[in-house]
A and B are shown apart, each in its own frame.
Chain A
Amino acid sequence: MKNSEKQLLIKKHSPHSNIVKNFLISFVFGGLICGVGECLFLLYKSLTGDTELSSLLVTLTLIFIASILTGIGVFDRIAKHAGAGTLVPVTGFANAVVSEAMDSQSEGYVLGVGAKIFTVAGPVILFGTACGVVYGIIYFLLSFFGAV
């Protein structure tokens, strides 16, 4: 049987994800988390009066909540339904870091937890930083020649 025939058969019989349902659920969860974030932001801002600090505190609070939910084994039960709704807010990043750390504990703290904690965090930090460096170079050159 040719590879193209196999691919046709696989396509014919493989079920599709329920795109509409997944879209709606992820929209609601993603929106709820950001809505809660906005409530926290307004609260922190009324307490501190500092926009930038309040925004940072929101991120830290959500990371904390996601980490606890991951630890007690609830996060994955929610994310199973929420999909990208819990992945895209900073909660998904925290879950990836904490779940990798918890999972590799049986392989020891240095090469288990220490190394594997970066399985998902590593690429995010690496490419975020790399993009930052590219932007930094461009911005530096532009400001050097007086363009900005």
Chain B
Amino acid sequence: MKRVIKVKNNISIISHASVGGGEERRGPLGDKLDFCDPSDTFGQSTFEVAEGECGRIALNTALTKANLSHEDLELLVAGDLQNQCVGTSLSLGSFGIPFLGIYGACSTCTEALLILSAFMDSATDMQYGGAVTTSHNSAAERQFRTPLEYGGQRSPSAQWTATAGGAFLLGRDKTKPLITEYMPGKIVDGGTLDGSNMGAAMSFAAADTIISYFNETGRKPSDFDYIVTGDLGRVGSDILEDILSRELPGAECFHRDCGLMLYDTSRQDAHSGASGCGTSAAVLSAYFLPLLESGKIRRILLLSTGALMSPSSILQGQNIAGIAPLIRIDSPISS
């Protein structure tokens, strides 16, 4: 089965923006994020709307940076972490851009970029499209876990859902980082139903995607500067690197995880690291894309990782499934 698909035309990330909340501001990438609201509310009355507002700010910032108007965008592919993706539809509707709402749990960032690249590769007269992804800690806690003021202890393997978002504008400018390949993920059983160990559940899907990619293309891990996963956290990263060191020796040295880059666990009590679909969006925009733009790195593989489950499925004793779609991003300078 062939899974890796080449992008035939020049599709590039012409502009991007990242947004974060208070804990993200305190983290190592704090001063690289375009906008942070230390109160986490983004001026909204509920956290559900705040999550959407986070995406609206990111999209507006990315548009301003590219000197474009929302009317220039012909398609918007976006999603968040809430039931029915309601944060996104509440906040992005006012733009009046044709819209595809997607849900890939925490894999949404890569999934959105993948779908939009595929669209623009076939609709060759399409000039600009946008991909937006957000997550919000308070909205996720309320939906998936416990009330915000509930006095509970988090397990050491638990991750911290990031209050973060990213927006990416895709165009056809050859001088910007290019999306050159994509590969949808497969749903892989995570082997656990422990909702506080989702990094572990997602690591097997990431391993499946990475190993399949290199088997199919025949490339070597050293062809890439980084193999970037979305939000495996400490536990998931350790499992992935353990599998890679046996199945694809050497690949583990190139692995970086966005979930381990958003917070400084030595002074922030994030336990196993960051999670949530805003994590890979914010880290891609704030850290990896600037490196690709300046030519400091040549190319990366990005796999945002998603844990597919619902509070009901966990209570019903169903294992968490993982998914990890992949895109390859090349620097315009070295290629």
Contacts and interface: CB of A to CB of B under 8 A. Distances in A.
> Direct A–B touching in the complex (beta carbon < 8 Å)?
yes
Interface of A: 1, 3, 6-7, 9-10, 12-18, 22, 70-71, 73, 75-76, 78-80, 82-83, 86-87, 92, 95-96, 98-100, 102-104, 106
A141 to B, nearest CB: 36
Interface in B119-152: 142, 146-152
Interface string B230-261: 00001100110011000000000000000000
B210 to A, nearest CB: 13
Contact of B197 (A10, A96, A104): A10
Contact of B149 (A7, A10, A70): A70
B204 interface: yes
B151 A10 contact: no
Contact of B142 (A6, A13, A103): A103
B155 A6 contact: no
B148 A103 contact: yes
Give chain B's interface residue range (CB within 8 Å of chain A). 20 to 34
Given A14-B200, A17-B155, A96 B191 contact: no
B147 A14 contact: no
B248 to A, nearest CB: 14
B28 interface: no
Nearest to A120: B150
6 contacts: A7-B191, A9-B203, A13-B200, A14-B200, A86-B151, A103-B147
Interface of B: 45-46, 142, 146-157, 189-192, 197, 200, 203-204, 234-235, 238-239, 242-243, 272
A98 B149 contact: yes
B200 A95 contact: no
A73 B151 contact: no
Contacts of A18: 156
A114 B239 CA distance: 44
B329 to A, nearest CB: 28
B115 to A, nearest CB: 28
Interface of B is mostly: loop
Contacts of B204: 1, 6
Contacts of A82: 151
B191 A13 contact: no
A9 B147 CA distance: 32
B200 A99 contact: no
Contacts of A1: 204, 243
Given A13-B242, A16-B156, A99 B149 contact: yes
Given A3-B189, A6-B204, A106-B46, A14 B235 contact: yes
B136 to A, nearest CB: 14
Contacts of A92: 151
Nearest to A26: B153
Nearest to A101: B147
Contact of A14 (B46, B189, B190, B197): B197
Residue among A1, A71, A87 with max Cβ neighbours from chain B (10 Å): A1
Contacts of B156: 14-18
B260 to A, nearest CB: 14
B139 to A, nearest CB: 11
Nearest to A87: B151
Contacts of B151: 70, 75-76, 78-80, 82, 86-87, 92, 95, 99
A14 B238 CA distance: 9
A6 B190 contact: yes
B148 A6 contact: no
Contacts of B46: 106
A78 to B, nearest CB: 7
Contacts of B191: 3, 6-7, 9-10
